[in-house]
Amino acid sequence: MPELVLQARGLAKAFASPAGPLPVLTDVSLEVFAGESVSIRGSSGSGKTTLLQQLGGLDQPDAGEVRILAPGSGLVAPRTSLGRGVGFVFQNYQLMPELTALENVALAARIAGVPALSATAAARALLVQVGLGARLEHLPAKLSGGECQRVAIARALVNRPSVILADEPTGNLDERTGAEIMDLLLGVVADRGAALILVTHSREFAERAGRRFVLTAGVLTPA
């Protein structure tokens, strides 16, 4: 039995709107185990990003709770495991524009408390692994979309989190680059022994995950 790395129970979230509260998540429960990959599909506006934010601790659900395995600390609230237990990959890459590729990845390690030298060494190794060994000193503005997403993937992995939350990581990329990024993401995440929760529009990419869900009407149903 593989180790439990993420556990969500009865998540609910509604947003205030002029026409009263708008329920986005009504009752979401999910368990993810070490090393597995899970995909979540759903139409635009169905609440996929909202769900990832609750899972990763960027927002507090109205009801329910989430636990994430933080190495060395056991299952903890996601907010306290940010950057250690969980790593994010966003659709828009979200790199720091003033930092080079190497510094962007090292930054995540520095924030987690890793000394500068080891952070840089770990960042360099990961960037080489994602195929950017020749782009270490480039600023994000000088990188292509696919290259930026590779940097973002390296950044998400640098602290060896137990789970990666990827929010439409290929959404801004052309088909071919998207496929390359999917290959890389699935490969490198598996290589590091992390679990992957992949939110995507694409049925094709969703099919590549070990378990598949669809988010409709605020509920997660197996596909």
Partner 1 sequence: MPWFLHLALRQLFPPGKRFPAFATVSILGVGLGVASLLIVQTVMNGFGEEHRLRIRESFGDCQVVGAAPIEQPEALAKALVARPEVASASLYAEGPALARNGDFSGIAQVRGIDPTDPGQPARKYVYGGSFDDLDDGRIVLGAGLARALRVRVGDRIEIWSPAMAERAEKGKAPLPAEFEVCAVIVTGFTEVDNAAALIPLRRFREIWNLGPRAHGLTLRLKEPALAEATAARLAATRPELRFRPWQDIKKDFLAAIRFEKTMLFFLMFIITLVASFSIGSTLFSAVIRRSREVGVLAALGAARWEVVGLFGLQGLLIGALGTLLGFGLTWTILSFRDGILSAINGLFGGGDMVANVYQFSKVPLHYDAADFVIAAAFTLLTTAIAGLVPALWAAGRKPSEAMRDA
Ligand X SMILES: Nc1ncnc2c1ncn2[C@@H]1O[C@H](COP(=O)(O)OP(=O)(O)O)[C@@H](O)[C@H]1O
C-alpha to C-alpha distance for 107 and 77, rounded to whole angstroms: 23
**Position of tokens 């994000």?**
140
Task: Determine, following the binding rule CB under 8 A, whether residue 83 of this chain makes contact with partner 1.
Answer: yes
User: From the list 46, 53, 149, 162, which residue makes contact with partner 1 (rule: CB under 8 A)?
Assistant: 53
Number of residues that bind partner 1 (CB under 8 A): 27
Instruction: Indicate which of ligand X, Mg ion, partner 1, none lies near residue 45 (CB less than 5 to 8 Å, by partner kind).
Output: ligand X
Q: If binding is defined by CB under 6 A, does position 221 make contact with ligand X?
A: no
x/- track of binding to ligand X for residues 50-79 (CB under 6 A): x-----------------------------
Cα separation of 51 and 55, whole Å? 6
Note whether 39 and 55 are within 8 A (CB). no
List the one residue out of 161, 191, 164, 188 whose CA is nearest residue 69: 161
Span 5-34, contacts to ligand X by CB under 6 A: 15, 24
Q: Tokens for 179?
A: 């496929």
89 binds ligand X (CB under 6 A): no
15: amino acid identity, one letter:
F
Contact pattern from residue 128 through residue 157 relative to partner 1, giving x for each residue in contact according to CB under 8 A and a dash for the rest:
-----------x-x-------------x--
Burial of 20 (0-12, 13-18, 19+ CB in 10 A): exposed
| Sites of contact with ligand X (CB under 6 A) | 15, 24, 42, 44-50
